[in-house]
Amino acid sequence: MEDSHYYDVIIIGAGIMGSSTAYYAATRGLKTLLLEQFDFLHHRGSSHGESRTIRAAYPQHYYYPLVIKSYELWQQAQAQAGYNVYFKAHHFDMAPSNDPTMLAVINSCRENNVSYELLRRDQVADKFSGRIDIPEDWVGLSTEHGGVIKATKAVVMFQTLARNNGAVLKDNAEVTDIKNDGGVVVLTKSGEKFRGKKCVVTVGAWVNKLVKKISGVEIPIQPLETHVCYWRIKEGHEGKFTLGSSDFPTFASCGKVTVYGTPAFEYPGLVKVAVHGGNPCDPDKRSWGPLVMMNELKEWVEGRFSGLVDSSEPVVKQSCMYSMTPDEDFVIDFLGGEFGKNVVLGGGFSGHGFKMAPVIGKILTQLALDGETNEVDLKHFRIGRFNVASKV
Ligand SMILES: Cc1cc2nc3c(=O)[nH]c(=O)nc-3n(C[C@H](O)[C@H](O)[C@H](O)COP(=O)(O)OP(=O)(O)OC[C@H]3O[C@@H](n4cnc5c(N)ncnc54)[C@H](O)[C@@H]3O)c2cc1C
């Protein structure tokens, strides 16, 4: 094999997780290769589009340190790049007052000393000057840790920084096999062969297509087709929902339907509101529709925004995929079996991983290079929690 085909670490999949991993691996002086099956920045996975929410109010307390670290790392990376991908906002959660997720978020804020305001309906109306209305038996929770990350721009940023630090990036390079030879041998559909000491697999919704083939292990990660929807703010009210010029927050809501969204930003006059969830799909045979719980979402838009946003139909719809685990926690672990610690897996980001991509890239790099991480206790993210065993 030519010298140019030997790497310290080969990362498979150039969504946000693979791209951030390539950057952190390259900054640690590793000879790094990032392989992507489609064109870079394609729209067939999970990391494309205009925006993702970042928030620290999480029902599971163990995400808080990861999010706080990520705020810092987003800012460091954008300082390196010379442009911004993170834009600050407050965050607002709303739910029935006895909703278990809301109660868990309140607990986790307490546990992590996150300052928050817990608001009744009239207090919510006051705080947002009538722009948000919750039912009488709901509560709202406001924290300062919110914000929007520009999604595709963030992927570009990490790919550019990775390249600037010496990584090699190749697209239209579908990996068809990974073999163990003491290190790893990575084979592509077009017949190329790369050798690496370590390999990081960040293939999003395609995880079981590749991982099952190489290890026999089937991890319960379900690809879901989901949609981002943008809704028109009624004439004369646009400025009230705009990021920056108003105090409108990023938001999430539990109840009959789980909803999340961002202030008007990427498309002037349109606010993003979408359902957290989707339809099971095969990532290579997508139906590109239909949208889930659209009637409930319309009702939510009409009710929660006091009739100031046109709820008749979203004006922009974009399709995307979640990689959903049964507990909605990530999978960050060594693949094990014959690969031991040589293949690291980052997947199952379950519709909420983007915000933490910098710290996840750092962790995946540490696992590949050091065999361990000091950023987080991996017990919540191990493959073993699903009771699957390597068949190799
Ligand atoms: C609609 C939507 C809204 C979201 N909102 C938020 C949010 O507000 N906040 C938040 O934090 N998170 C959010 N998320 C989740 C977040 O976007 C994902 O967790 C994240 O993008 C996952 O990135 P990834 O790199 O794992 O997957 P992907 O972006 O899918 O990247 C995997 C890549 O691997 C490539 N690949 C696959 N197989 C191979 C192979 N064999 N060889 C080579 N390459 C391969 C794929 O082509 C793909 O480019 C949202 C997700 C969606 C879909």
Which helix (H) or strand (E) is 115 found in, with range?
none
- CATH of region 3-47+151-221+327-386: 3.50.50.60
Neighbours of 179 (CB within 10 A): 14
Q: How many Å lie between the centroid of ligand 1 and the Cα of residue 222?
A: 13
Question: What span, in angstroms and rounded, lies between the C-alpha atoms of 347 and 95?
Answer: 29
Which residues, judged by CB distance below 6 Å to any ligand atom, belong to the binding site of ligand 1? 12-18, 35-38, 45-47, 52-53, 174-175, 202-206, 210, 226, 228, 260, 320-322, 349, 351-355
3-state secondary structure of 75: helix
**Best probe residue, ligand 1, of 354, 359, 360, 381 (max atoms within 8 Å of C-beta):** 354
Eight-state DSSP code of residue 125: H
What was the pLDDT predicted at 388?
75
What was the pLDDT predicted at 392?
37
Going by alpha carbons, the residue nearest to atom 5 of ligand 1 is 52
Atom of ligand 1 nearest to the CA of 151: 17
Question: What span, in angstroms and rounded, lies between the C-alpha atoms of 163 and 23?
Answer: 8
What was the pLDDT predicted at 246?
82
What phi, psi does 138 have (nearest 5°)?
-105, 165
What was the pLDDT predicted at 2?
66
Instruction: Compute, in degrees rounded to 10, the torsion defined by CA atoms 311, 314, 315, 319.
Output: 170
Q: How many Å lie between the centroid of ligand 1 and the Cα of residue 300?
A: 27
Beta strands in 233-365 (DSSP E): 250-253, 259-262, 270-275, 279-280, 316-324, 331-334, 343-347
- CATH of region 97-144+222-324: 3.30.9.10
Angle at 97 between CA 351 and CA 329, to 5 degrees: 25
What was the pLDDT predicted at 4?
66
Atom of ligand 1 nearest to the CA of 351: 15
Instruction: Compute, in degrees rounded to 10, the torsion defined by CA atoms 353, 357, 359, 365.
Output: 110
What was the pLDDT predicted at 22?
98
Q: How many Å lie between the centroid of ligand 1 and the Cα of residue 341?
A: 24
Q: How many Å lie between the centroid of ligand 1 and the Cα of residue 16?
A: 6
Show contacts of 80-84: CB within 8 Å, 24+ apart.
80/161, 81/157, 81/160, 81/161, 83/153, 83/157, 84/150
**Best probe residue, ligand 1, of 39, 47, 174, 279 (max atoms within 8 Å of C-beta):** 47
What was the pLDDT predicted at 7?
98
Atom of ligand 1 nearest to the CA of 353: 19
Crossing angle of helices 16-27/151-164, nearest 10°? 30
Q: What is the pTM (predicted TM-score) of this model?
A: 0.97
What was the pLDDT predicted at 204?
98
Going by alpha carbons, the residue nearest to atom 33 of ligand 1 is 13
Residue limits of CATH 3.30.9.10 in the chain: 97-144+222-324
Q: How many Å lie between the centroid of ligand 1 and the Cα of residue 69?
A: 20
Contact at 8 Å (CB) between 169 and 40? yes
Q: Within a 13 Å sphere around the CA of 300, how many CA atoms are in the beta-carbon half?
A: 25
Instruction: Give average pLDDT by consecutive 10-residue segment, the chain, 392 residues.
Output: 84 98 98 98 97 96 96 98 98 98 96 96 97 98 97 98 98 98 96 97 97 93 97 97 92 96 97 97 94 96 97 97 98 96 98 98 98 95 84 40
Q: How many Å lie between the centroid of ligand 1 and the Cα of residue 310?
A: 30
Q: How many Å lie between the centroid of ligand 1 and the Cα of residue 205?
A: 7
What phi, psi does 54 have (nearest 5°)?
-120, 135
CA distances from 1 to 4, 171, 302 (A): 8, 20, 62
End-to-end CA distance of the chain: 26
Neighbours of 20 (CB within 10 A): 33
Question: What span, in angstroms and rounded, lies between the C-alpha atoms of 160 and 133?
Answer: 43
Contact at 8 Å (CB) between 51 and 272? yes
**Best probe residue, ligand 1, of 52, 74, 332 (max atoms within 8 Å of C-beta):** 52
**Best probe residue, ligand 1, of 203, 253, 258 (max atoms within 8 Å of C-beta):** 203
Q: How many Å lie between the centroid of ligand 1 and the Cα of residue 129?
A: 36
Residue limits of CATH 3.50.50.60 in the chain: 3-47+151-221+327-386
Neighbours of 340 (CB within 10 A): 11
Question: What span, in angstroms and rounded, lies between the C-alpha atoms of 223 and 83?
Answer: 32
Going by alpha carbons, the residue nearest to atom 35 of ligand 1 is 13
Question: What span, in angstroms and rounded, lies between the C-alpha atoms of 392 and 387?
Answer: 15
Which of 301, 303, 318 minimizes the C-alpha distance to 233?
301
